[in-house]
Structure 1
Amino acid sequence: MTKEIWLNLPVKDVKSTTDFFNALGFAVNKNAPQSDTMVSFKIGQKDFIVNFFTMEVFKSFTSFKIAELDNATSCLISIDAESRNEVDEILDRAAEAGAIIYAKGGEKDGWMYGGGFTDLDGHKWNVLFMDFSKFKQQ
């Protein structure tokens, strides 16, 4: 039976990545090893694990080529926010830490408010507040 799920991402510099996600308020995962080649974070109330590995270590996990993310994305990592204000706060902190904001906070479909940023290594993050009381069933 599956116990947990982790997201593993390649990065150029573990220290810069650590500083960046600390600035966003993410908690370092104290249950995982931290080194020059790896840092692990727990994100959200359910402690979703995101592991960041240097490119060299990440390449050792797979025979596939690591995607070039400059003008592309391989996935969209979404973060649930508790309010519209929190969406904007996270985007502001991300920008201050060096992220590129690819979508400023805005309304979508009358029940979602969100925006997005690209982290230091090109991974795309989406920050959303979803007000299900405004969701219209079809």
Structure 2
Amino acid sequence: MTKQIWLNLPVKEASKSKEFYTALGFKFLEERTTPDSACMLVGENNFVIMLFSETMFQSFIQHNITDTEKSAEFLISIDAENRDELDALAQKAKAAGGIVYAAPGENQGWMYGCGFCDLDGHRWNVLHMDFSKMPKQ
């Protein structure tokens, strides 16, 4: 049945989005990159996020694209090895033109996290979790 799952994101300019994510340290498959798309790999298992120009993306969904200035359709969450890595990623996102909408900080006593928006307003959540401090049921 299903062998792999990937996420498709609409972007205004694939090349600028690729530059943004490259500045954050993400990798790309050049052989799957075109002027209207970029194939980004995330994490140890190489989760695929395809960045498609809005025109190309809309041809796939045959529906309206969410206006990320007014709403969010989803939240992409990734983990960080430690707090320093998380802090550095937030700084890189801001330096590359993104918006840090939630500064790095403690959450619920066992998570340390932050949130940023990319150039197209897609929201990312970065977490470092200490499961030994997680409340037990």
Instruction: Please give the alpha-carbon distance, in whole angstroms, between the structure 2 residues aligned to 1:85 and 1:18.
Output: 24
Q: Which residue number corresponds to residue 7 of structure 1?
A: 7
Written as runs of structure 1 = structure 2, the 5 A alignment for 1:92-131 is: 92-131=91-130
Q: Which residue of 2 aligns with 1:82?
A: 81
Q: Structure 2 unaligned runs (5+)?
A: none
Superposition pairs of residues 3-82 of structure 1, within 5 angstroms: 3-30=3-30, 33-82=32-81
Task: Give percent identity, aligned residues only.
Answer: 46
RMSD: 0.9
Please identify which structure carries the higher helix content. 2
Quote how far apart the aligned CAs of 1:14 are: 0.9
CA–CA distance in structure 2, aligned partners of residues 128 and 29 of structure 1: 25
The runs of at least 4 aligned residues of structure 1 exceeding 6 Å deviation read: none
Amino acid at match of 1:40: C
SS in 2 for 1:23: helix
**Which runs of 5 or more residues in structure 1 are unaligned?**
none
How many residues are aligned here?
137
**Deviation at 1:64?**
1.4
**Alpha-carbon deviations, 1:9-67, whole Å to 9, x = none?**
0000011001000000001024x521110001101111110000001100110121100
Distance 1:46 1:129 in 2: 18
| Letter paired with 1:94 | A
- Residue 121 of structure 1 aligns to a residue whose secondary structure is coil
Report the AA paired with residue 98 of structure 1.
G
In structure 2, the residue corresponding to 1:61 is in which secondary structure?
Answer: helix
**Which deviates the most, 8-17 or 62-71?**
62-71
Distance in structure 1 (CA, Å) of the matches to 2:2 and 2:29: 20
CA distance in 1, matches of 2:85, 2:71: 27
